[in-house]
Amino acid sequence: MTIETVVLTGAAGRVGSALREPLRARLRRLVSVDRAPLVPGGPDEEVRRADLSSVEEVASIIEDAGDAGVVDAIVHLAGVPDEAPLPDLLEGNVLGTHHVLEAARLTGVGRVVLASSNRLTGFHPAGRTVSADTPPRPDGLYGVSKVAVEALGRLYADKFGLQVVCLRIGSLEPEPAGPRHLATWLSPRDCAGFFWAALTAPDVTFTAAYAVSANTRRFWELDDRLGYRPLDDAETYADRFPGTAGHLSGDDPQGGDFAAADYTLRHLPGR
């Protein structure tokens, strides 16, 4: 699949910041969007300030983005990035995703790549290898919002023929920063590789896949449908975390601390 012009939402966030340069290197035009101010990385990048609060706003960005309004794909990363009150998650993650999908449908964008999360399955036990076909078992309200995001993507693929890829993003860091990352780390190099594969893989209708490096201790199956095999392994850094051989094993939730009751209780009105 040929991809020349992409709209990237949430471009100022952690994942967006890691993707801007790799995408610019491969695209004719990148349109980076965020509610925070951005500076173009070069003449092939346009920046827009927006909060994606309506379908009309997203559609106007798409229509202004390419030559004669032609945008090949959207990478949608904008939203609430962690546990929060459910109304905030519904507005930022679920409604925001709906605005993007509906704007893509109305303007004829062929493919949308959605930021899902490993937290969608964080209550599955660490002793079990999980695939994208395993039923969701979120470790908090944030994970619940990502279940809804994937359901919206599936609906738009099934009902309207939009090509949708949901990437269940691992722990994106320059290097693993804690014991859990020995299983969940996503290196910047592999992050770029997964997103480019999600943009260009042929014969996509709806696909959900884990974006995680080739970690020896990972909980999640690597999926060949996108055609990308990760290159890095957190085990290279294991000696930084001595005594973690049994960390998150057996029946321990894959989400680790994210699965603790207190992690969500602080965001509930009746806490």
Tell me which residue of 140, 36, 150 sits closest to 84, measured CA to CA.
140
The Cα–Cα gap between 135 and 116 comes to: 14
Q: How many helices (H) and strands (E) does the chain have?
A: 8, 9
Q: Are strands 73-76 and 5-9 parallel, antiparallel or unpaired?
A: parallel
> Nearest 5°: CA angle at 82, between 35 and 75?
50
Residue 210 designated active-site = no
Tell me which residue of 167, 187, 164 sits closest to 177, measured CA to CA.
187
CA separation, residue 116 to residues 108, 172, 265 (Å): 23, 13, 23
Positions marked catalytic: 142
